């Protein structure tokens, strides 16, 4: 079992507003030497699929994640990142019709994103915050690590 210094990672992300926000590009923030482009939906700004470690491929496959030292360039954070590789399972429980009918709307909120692609390069996180917030605001931080044993789940659920 391994763990990442998530507190250190989150405290190192400076999500202050970039001074040259382009109206057609969504909301932008500066992260190290990179411009991160996210989206705004009503009162919420989202930065999705932001990588937090080098892709675990090649020599990094099946090793502890290697944190990115710094960010550079432009990061398109307008869509969810890849989901980790999943096994197809036919052992998913089938709910009785009356239960499925009553829980359907609730369960739909947690449904797998059918557009999400699978890849070994799945070490990314989603950052969601209130829109138009000051770069130095002290906001609470909540992080969610989905489970599923490589059989079900992703950060786009």
- 141 belongs to a structural domain: no
Domain extent at residue 91: 6-130
Write the pLDDT tens digit of every residue in 17-27.
333 333 334 89
What is the average pLDDT value for the chain, to the nearest integer?
Answer: 74
- 140 belongs to a structural domain: no
Going along 12-137, which residue ranges are E strands?
A: 16-17, 28-31, 33-37, 39-41, 44-51, 72-76, 124-130
- 17 belongs to a structural domain: yes
How many domains would you assign to the chain? Answer: 1
Q: In sequence order, which ranges of the chain are alpha helices (DSSP H)?
A: 6-12, 97-108
- 143 belongs to a structural domain: no
Res 112 pLDDT > 70: no
- 118 belongs to a structural domain: yes
């Amino acid at each position: 079992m391994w763990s990442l210094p998530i507190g250190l990672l989150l405290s190192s992300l400076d999500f202050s507003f970039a001074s040259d926000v382009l109206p057609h590009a969504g909301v932008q923030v500066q992260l190290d030497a990179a411009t991160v482009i996210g989206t705004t939906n009503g009162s919420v700004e989202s930065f999705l699929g932001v990588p937090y470690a080098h892709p675990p491929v090649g020599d990094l496959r099946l090793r502890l994640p290697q944190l990115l030292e710094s960010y550079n360039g432009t990061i398109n954070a307008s869509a969810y990142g890849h989901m980790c590789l999943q096994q197809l399972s036919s052992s998913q429980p089938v709910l009785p019709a009356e239960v499925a009918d009553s829980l359907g709307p609730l369960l739909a909120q947690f449904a797998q994103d059918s557009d999400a692609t699978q890849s070994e390069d799945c070490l990314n996180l989603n950052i969601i915050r209130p829109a138009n917030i000051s770069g130095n605001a002290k906001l609470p931080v909540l992080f969610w690590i989905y489970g599923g044993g490589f059989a079900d789940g992703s950060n786009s659920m």
